[in-house]
């Protein structure tokens, strides 16, 4: 189903200043820069010295500025995170407090891990299209460095950062989406992060799930919106690895020059990958009004989804 009158009105991101390169990791991990670069497409990543809520707040300020709006124009705040600084209160309420909002508006977190941002958008599309909400601030913020064993080979995968959008009612826009999950297929073992210890990952299981479900998800939203692959101007995926994305693009029928990647600079920023990549594309003038854009992501669980839209800004 295609939902009319909904579009992204502002985008922002925030990246920590601290940079950790592959060469830095070679000093403590049994790996090499060339392996990380060839297999994952990563040169370096950012490591946060600030909280996820602070990063999310800074990204949100930029998204509001991009939309030419203030916080008083927002009627709902959603934060997608799987690495919050606290279980309670929610990161959304912490950011609500940072804005010092005088009025009461709903604010809550969503956790679908790397697909959390896409899930949040997909939840809001029908509500905005049907005027239940007018302008929603969606923030994704992650700090996996705080949940990483830096002596383990898997420490090479993740980086920290935050991205945000204002999703709102717009008569020129339309969107369609697909969200799904399956807890059976290695969902509890492919990627697992207990409360009291660093994450553990089985890379082969992540690979197998991603190359199986992401092409199917993208094809689903293309079919729902009656759009052919060749009509897509840009695919903005979460950033699991460059080789996964090459397979996904080939399965869908998209050339890699239409696939936006930022993992070389930022690694996999989990749920914040998509909005950070989107903001990077905008800053580099790679997106134009009227373009057809697709988001896609898969996260631990497994949970995954895709969003297709006409770019209205």
- pLDDT tens-digit readout, 74-98: 999 999 999 999 999 999 999 999 9
Task: Give the global pTM.
Answer: 0.95
What DSSP line would sit under 132-186, residue for residue? S-SEEEEEEEE-GGGG--TTSGGGGSB--EEEEEEEEEEEEEEEEEEEEE-SSSS
Distances (CA, A) of 233 to 16, 26, 169, 217, 244: 29, 37, 22, 17, 20
Distance CA 22, CA 32 (A): 7
Model confidence pLDDT, tens digit, residues 267-287: 999 999 999 999 999 999 999
* pLDDT in the model for residue 313: 81
Cα 2–chain centre separation: 22
In this prediction, what percent of the chain has a pLDDT beyond 90?
81
Highest CATH level, class, for 174-310: alpha beta
Residues 6+ apart with CB under 8 A from 57: 95, 98, 99
Q: Residue 195: pLDDT band by 50, 70, 90 thresholds?
A: confident
Share of the chain above pLDDT 70, in %: 98
Section 259-274 average pLDDT: 96
- In the structure, what pLDDT confidence band is assigned to residue 202 with cuts at 50, 70 and 90? confident
Positions of CATH 3.40.47.10 in the chain = 3-173, 174-310
Instruction: Express each pLDDT in 124-141 by its tens digit.
Output: 999 999 999 999 999 999
CA 66 to chain centre: 18
Helix (H) or strand (E) holding 94: helix 91-99
For 103, the 3-state DSSP assignment is coil
Distance, CA of 310 to CA of 261 (rounded, Å): 20
Report the b/e string of 135-171 with b at 16+ CB within 10 A: bbbbbbbbbbbebbeeebebbbbbbbbbbbbbbbbbe
Residue 28 has pLDDT above 90, yes or no: no
The superfamily (CATH) of domain 3-173 is Thiolase/Chalcone synthase (3.40.47.10)
Catalytic residues: 114, 238, 268
Coil, strand or helix at 6: strand
pLDDT score recorded for residue 90:
97
Q: Strand, helix or coil at 64?
A: helix
Shortest CA distance to 165 belongs to which of 311, 16, 61, 24? 61
């Amino acid at each position: 189903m295609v939902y009319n009158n909904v579009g992204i009105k502002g985008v922002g991101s925030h990246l920590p200043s601290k940079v950790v390169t592959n060469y830095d990791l070679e000093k403590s991990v049994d790996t090499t820069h060339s392996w990380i670069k060839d297999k994952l497409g990563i040169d370096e990543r950012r490591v946060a010295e600030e909280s996820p809520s602070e990063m999310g707040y800074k990204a949100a300020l930029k998204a509001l500025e991009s939309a030419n709006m203030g916080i008083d124009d927002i009627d709902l705040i959603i934060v997608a995170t799987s690495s919050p600084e606290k279980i309670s209160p929610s990161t959304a309420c912490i950011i609500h407090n940072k804005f010092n909002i005088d009025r009461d508006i709903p604010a809550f977190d969503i956790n679908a891990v790397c697909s959390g941002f896409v899930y949040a958008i997909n939840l809001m599309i029908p509500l905005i299209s049907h005027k239940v909400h007018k302008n929603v601030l969606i923030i994704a913020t992650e700090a996996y460095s705080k949940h990483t064993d830096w002596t383990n080979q898997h420490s090479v995968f993740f980086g920290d950062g935050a991205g945000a959008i204002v999703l709102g009612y717009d008569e020129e826009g339309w969107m369609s989406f697909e969200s799904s999950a399956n807890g059976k297929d290695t969902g509890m073992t492919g990627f697992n992060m207990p409360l009291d210890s660093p994450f553990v990952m089985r890379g082969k299981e992540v690979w197998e799930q991603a190359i199986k479900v992401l092409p199917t998800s993208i094809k689903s939203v293309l079919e729902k919106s009656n759009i052919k692959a060749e009509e897509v101007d840009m695919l903005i995926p979460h950033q699991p690895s460059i080789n996964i994305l090459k397979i996904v693009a080939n399965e869908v029928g998209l050339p890699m020059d239409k696939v936006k990647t930022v993992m070389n600079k930022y690694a996999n920023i989990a749920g914040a990958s998509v909005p950070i990549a989107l903001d990077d594309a905008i800053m580099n003038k790679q997106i134009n009004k009227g373009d057809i854009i697709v988001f896609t992501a898969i996260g631990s669980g497994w949970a995954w989804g895709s969003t297709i839209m006409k770019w209205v800004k």
